[in-house]
Homo-oligomer: A and B are copies of this chain.
Amino acid sequence: MTGVDVLWAGGWLRDPAEPVLRGDDAGFATGLGVFETCAVVGGRAFALTRHLHRLAASLAALGLPPVDLDEVRAAVAAVLDAGGDGLGRLRVTVSPGAPGGHARPSLVVTGGPAPVRGAPHVVRSPWVRNERSPLAGHKSTSYAADALALAAAVRVGGNEALLADTRGALCEGTGSNVFVERDGELLTPGLATGCLPGVTRALVLAWSAEAGLPVREAGPDELPWTVVEDARQGRVGLALTGSLRGVVGVEVVEGVAVPVGPLTAEVARRFRARAADDLDP
């Protein structure tokens, strides 16, 4: 999270430099918390309802106290109003707050400019995603492993790291889901790999199905980690999806320029058109 321009916490907008969290906040002390990141399009948070649904579902699944979604919506509206045209992304972070009987969840909503990224350039991470973690499939604030994997990729010239699961299946990126274009199909790893049930991923699957395009979740053994090497050698195509990225074809794998598949290009085009038509699908 860089370049926060607008910050809401504890009931109202604050100077981002003002302290708003206790030192014993469980989010700070033990990484207990969940977050959501939305693109801001035309002054609105894209797919906000889906993001809030996932936020609430993850809090419940992880046994964390619920947050008042009306309060979240009010905070989001305040941040969007204050940020105006300069906003390109919005983030909602919730932790259980400080320990103790009268604790209230800590809710922080921030807005900033859209991230600037070069052409999608992925690097294979030496580390793996643990699909047998209680956090698998949740956008937890215990996010340091992802932050470090991304930083390692950036150090070698990439802008996203791809991870396998512990059993050697392709899983996802640090802040994106991955798709593989192969033999006329576009496949994404199943949730059993521990990947996030991404909002953009879900929309791509649903909208492609409606359009009759061959885009689907892969079976357990369909996408082994070796597909990234296949991509590097130009035998298959890769795409990333994410709330801020949308759908983008991977153009570089570990420094090697690779072609973006025709189905990926078609799906990306349709995603942009349909998202522009409906900001809260």
Q: Is the CB of B134 within 8 A of A148?
A: yes
Q: How long is the Cα–Cα vector from A23 to B99 in the complex, in angstroms?
A: 18
Comparing A25-33, A115-123, A211-219, the segment that makes contact with chain B is: A25-33
Given A19-B19, A134-B145, A28 contacting B25 (CB threshold 8 A) = yes
Q: Is the CB of A24 within 8 A of B16?
A: yes
Q: Is the CB of A23 within 8 A of B35?
A: no
Contact residue among B2, B63, B127 (Cβ-Cβ distance under 8 Å from A151): B63
Q: How long is the Cα–Cα vector from A238 to B22 in the complex, in angstroms?
A: 38
Q: Is the CB of A147 within 8 A of B30?
A: yes
In the complex, what residue of chain B is closest to A132 when comparing beta carbons? B128
Number of copies: 2
In the complex, what residue of chain B is closest to A91 when comparing beta carbons? B29
A 11-52 binary contact with B (CB < 8 Å = 1; else 0):
000101111111111111111110100000000000000000
Q: Is the CB of A16 within 8 A of B23?
A: yes
Task: State which size class the interface on A falls in.
Answer: 35 or more
A152: chain B residues at CB < 8 Å are 134
In the complex, what residue of chain B is closest to A155 when comparing beta carbons? B63
Contact residue among B18, B23, B62 (Cβ-Cβ distance under 8 Å from A144): B62
Contact residue among B20, B100, B133, B146 (Cβ-Cβ distance under 8 Å from A145): B133
Any B CB within 8 A of the CB of A176: no
A16: min CB distance to chain B, Å: 6
A200: chain B residues at CB < 8 Å are none
A196: chain B residues at CB < 8 Å are none
Q: How long is the Cα–Cα vector from A11 to B133 in the complex, in angstroms?
A: 37
Any B CB within 8 A of the CB of A4: yes
In the complex, what residue of chain B is closest to A17 when comparing beta carbons? B22
Q: Is the CB of A20 within 8 A of B18?
A: no
A99: min CB distance to chain B, Å: 5
Q: Is the CB of A108 within 8 A of B147?
A: no
Contact residue among B17, B26, B93 (Cβ-Cβ distance under 8 Å from A1): B26
The residue in A9, A14, A148 that gathers the most chain B C-beta atoms within 10 A of its C-beta is: A148
Given A32-B144, A130-B130, A23 contacting B22 (CB threshold 8 A) = no
24 A-B contacts, Cβ less than 8 Å apart? A2-B99, A14-B23, A16-B23, A19-B20, A19-B21, A20-B23, A21-B28, A23-B108, A28-B106, A29-B93, A29-B108, A30-B146, A31-B31, A31-B142, A31-B147, A126-B132, A127-B134, A129-B130, A130-B166, A132-B166, A140-B144, A141-B142, A142-B144, A142-B145
